[in-house]
Amino acid sequence: MKCVTSRHITIFLVLCIGAFPCISSCSEDNELWLFISSYEDIDITVQDLAFFLATHGYDARPNRSYVTVKLSDDETLYLTPNGAVPRLADIWASPPASSDMDMVIPAGAIQKDAVYSKTTNREFVDAIDERLILPAASPGMRYSRSQRLAEMGRGLGYNVKYMYDPDGGDKGGTIWVMVEDPDNLDTWLAVDSYDGALGDNEYYAAQYSFEDIGNLDFINPKWKLA
């Protein structure tokens, strides 16, 4: 995770303007979230944040406690520096001072560069293979299968998370689930909605991990078309 400090702002102004092209598969609010998620600065102020965003092409203006960012479709988002929490800021759909404020993406909802420990409990692995009905949906419906698989796992009382690799598989990316071993907490079994239990270590790490399938829309809004 890169770290941005106030003294680096001038360097960013000279070197980085235009260095972050739009992600074509994401809407502007998703693009903004991914951008601020690439940096951290526990001391960044509202003024610093507004200046940093402005140097990267955003229509950003500081307020007393937040920064307003106006998008090309006239939508306005509100950003608050979040100190030691990962990302430069939290994004809100309404001014943070309002009583009914609604965060666009809740803090901690999406974990970046997730890595999980693989379970060695053979009985648990066998139980998952026996209890989960595969394939979870019709062939070719990768995302629907994974969603159904997660629902089955939770219905059986397991803790389940999604793993998503936007660069894997096809243009829509690859998605699978992690099921926590209840007898050995913090160890997990990777499960594919078609192939079942996955033993390869590559499936125990992913660019993104989340509990709610709806959060996939923030990373790839077009996933339902894949």
Whether 3 contacts 87, CB under 8 Å: no
Which of 66, 89, 107 finishes a domain?
107
Place of tokens 């923030």: 218
Whether 55 contacts 8, CB under 8 Å: no
Identify any residues that bridge with 70 across adjacent strands, giving them in sequence order.
59, 76
Encode pLDDT of 125-182 as tens digits.
999 988 887 765 555 567 888 888 999 999 999 999 999 988 876 556 789 999 999 9
Which of 61, 86, 107 finishes a domain?
107
Query: Do residue 101 and residue 127 come from a single domain?
Result: no
Query: Do residue 103 and residue 131 come from a single domain?
Result: no
Which domain range does residue 95 map to?
Answer: 2-107
The count of other CB atoms within 10 Å of the CB of residue 135 is: 15
- Best-predicted range by mean pLDDT among 1-15, 74-88, 131-145, 173-187? 173-187
Query: Do residue 86 and residue 134 come from a single domain?
Result: no
Query: Do residue 82 and residue 127 come from a single domain?
Result: no
Query: Do residue 21 and residue 69 come from a single domain?
Result: yes
Give 121-170 as a DSSP string: -HHHHHHHHHHS-SSSSSTT-HHHHHHHHHHHHHHTT--EEEEEETTSSS
Which of 107, 140, 167 finishes a domain?
107
Q: What's the total number of domains in the chain? A: 2
Query: Do residue 83 and residue 122 come from a single domain?
Result: no
Q: What amino acid occupies position 191?
A: V
